Amino acid sequence: MVFQNQTLAENKKKVRIKDYELMQNDEKRPQRMALIKSTTPVNHNEHGSDAFRGEPTSTTTSGSFVLESSGSAVVPSNSSLDPSAHANSASSSLPYWMASFIPESKIPLLPLPEHLLDHPYYKDAFNFYKYFTAHFIVAATPQMYRSNPFHKLIPQYAEENGCLLDLLVAYSLTHRSMVLTDENFTPHLVELLISRGIFRLVSSLNATPMEIKCEVVCVTALLMCTQKIFSGDDTDKYKETIDLCRKSFERFIEHDQKVSKLPNGKYKLTEEDNSFSYFLLTWIGYLEVIGMMMAISPKDFRMPYRPNPVFEKVELKKKSKIDLFLGFDIKFLEIFDKLIPILNMLEEQDEEDKNSIPTNILSLALEWEHELNSAYTDFQAAPSDPNDPTESDRILNASNDAFYFTGLLHLYRRIYRIPRTSSVVQKMVKKIYEIFKNDIESASSAENCAILPLFVAACESITEEHRRFFYDRFQIQFLGGNFPAGDVLKILNDTWNTGDSWVNAVKRVRKEKGFFLI
């Protein structure tokens, strides 16, 4: 972000360096630190200039969370009561205090209690999700996104449904273990929670009559998908649950009396009248569109094939100019959804035809580019709405621009196959670089939600200035708890030093595991 004065910038940097030094001495993180050391860039980039070396020099302060050395309760800080304290900071999305160390529990963690929230350890994990993770995974600040379903509705559903609670706590424990020191955390504990959550979900689905609401099934499955991706699991497991997400969502809106059906057979969802349905589709869209644009299947090393577009049966009517969850105009999400089939078609070409673009695909790509440019023009020309806080929010507008430029960059490199060194490609890289440097703070929720632009621009960068900047951002992401970002560091080294596409770099780095970044 743009800091108001140099002192503030220096202070934040000192805090991050101090946090990193503490992490270096944390014996609970050998795997993560070993990975970072193994991904330090090598000597020469594709242009022959010296690449940078050395250990990471900064780490996340978890937004505006303040990490205390004792206690485990999660409570709002006093500063959260003063909106002006966060007015100019991307990190305002996390105005809470929390413990930095979770001591060994005096109460046995196993066997799992029937009611997780009766145990203080699991209760603390639940609170960590509600007051930390729920705000960190959306682009807008809590002050702006007061109705945030991750913070409001989903914890409420979890308290009422054991299957969802198990998954939510498992996800929270995974995230918390990467941000804080937790003496109790083990992957086995997370697996037990996930297994029980899945068993409870299946039991509820098979009951007669079904004992669980469709919207709860959808949320549980979505959280399961997110957990699998976030924890670095085999990415193919993602497919096992995404179909359940979409089917349960369709059943939910079919029986929702507030959802109307249009003459063309599509369901109409408005952000104002169908807020939860709208949110669920946005979450599905984020995984199935934004995630897919960075995904490589472990079996055939291609973008995973998706038979049906996310928005095939639904039309959305937005209220906010910029979506509070996504951080960009939701119209872009619908347009990006149409890019996936074009990429699938291109990847189905025979190997000997890889250097040519069939006329039908080129035609579709040109139409897609026109639609994206038109949507961006319409966005900029939209009449002013004084009741829409996103309209004047500098960070959200910067994020929106980043996604627009990323759409073009994806098109230029993956479909038009314009060389990385081309001025038109580097123009997009520079624009995205300047957006993150000037407007989107490192380790902020806005950056977390704009991981696609950050990743694509990083891969396509060629100057040492740009590469150093993007590499540092992903180091901070990784140290701050985004485990898949560790693979990104290796992918960046590979694609920069070979000059090969990031898709081919993924094949070499991840091999049979595939790649999925959110």
The string of DSSP letters for 1-44 reads ---SSHHHHHHHHHHHHHHHHHHHT-TT-HHHHHHHHHTS--SB
- Percent with pLDDT over 70 in the chain: 77
CB 151 within 8 A of CB 210: no
**How far, CA to CA in Å, does 20 sit from each of 13, 24, 208, 299, 476?**
11, 6, 53, 37, 9
Q: Is 250 left (phi over 0), alpha (psi -120 to 50) or beta?
A: alpha
Q: Which amino acid appears at position 512 of this protein?
A: E
Kindly report, residue by residue over 176-204, the tens digit of the pLDDT: 988 888 999 999 999 999 999 999 999 99
pLDDT at residue 474 in the model: 95
Residue among 454, 339, 457 at smallest CA distance from 399: 454
Is the pLDDT at 475 greater than 50, yes or no?
A: yes
Residues contacting residue 147 through CB under 8 Å, at least 6 positions apart: 275
What is the arithmetic mean of pLDDT over 418-433? 98
Of 51 and 223, the structure prediction assigns the larger pLDDT to 223
pLDDT single digits (tens) 311-329: 999 999 999 999 999 999 9
d(CA 429, CA 504): 20
Higher pLDDT: 484 or 124? It is: 124
131-150 confidence digits (pLDDT tens): 999 999 999 999 999 999 99
When mean pLDDT is compared over 48-62, 78-92, 218-232, 292-306, the highest value belongs to 218-232
Rounded to whole angstroms, how far apart are CA atoms 118 and 132? Answer: 21
Residue 362 corresponds to which tokens in the numbers above?
């080129």
Q: What are phi and psi of 378, to 5 degrees?
A: -65, -40
In whole numbers, what is the pLDDT of the chain averaged over residues?
Answer: 82
β-bridge mates for residue 98, sequence order: 67
Quick check: 231 and 255 in contact, CB under 8 A? no
Structure tokens at 235: 């990415």
Which DSSP string do the residues of 305-352 spell out, in sequence order?
Answer: P-SS-TTTTEEEE-SSSS-TTTSS-HHHHHHHHHHHHHHHHHHTS-GG
Closest alpha carbon to 513 in 490, 497, 481, 479:
490
| pLDDT tens-place string over residues 3-40 | 333 343 344 344 333 443 444 444 444 444 344 334 33
Which single residue is written with the structure tokens 């020469």? 44
The confidence score (pLDDT) of residue 422 equals 98
User: What per-residue string of b and e applies to 282-297 under the rule 16 or more CB within 10 Å gives b?
Assistant: bbbbbbbbbbbbbbbb
pLDDT band at 511 (very low <50, low <70, confident <90, very high): confident
Q: What is the pLDDT of residue 350?
A: 65
Give the pLDDT score at 232.
61
**Backbone torsions φ then ψ of 269, nearest 5 degrees:** -115, 125
Q: What is the pLDDT of residues 247-303, one digit of tens each?
A: 999 999 999 999 999 999 999 999 999 999 999 999 999 999 998 898 887 766 677
pLDDT exceeds 60 at position 93:
no
Q: Where are the alpha helices (DSSP H) in 161-258?
A: 162-179, 187-206, 214-230, 238-254
Q: Show the 3-state SS of 432-476.
A: HHHHHHHCCCCCCHHHHHCHHHHHHHHHHCCCHHHHHHHHHHHHH
**Residue 258: how many other CB atoms lie within 10 Å:** 12
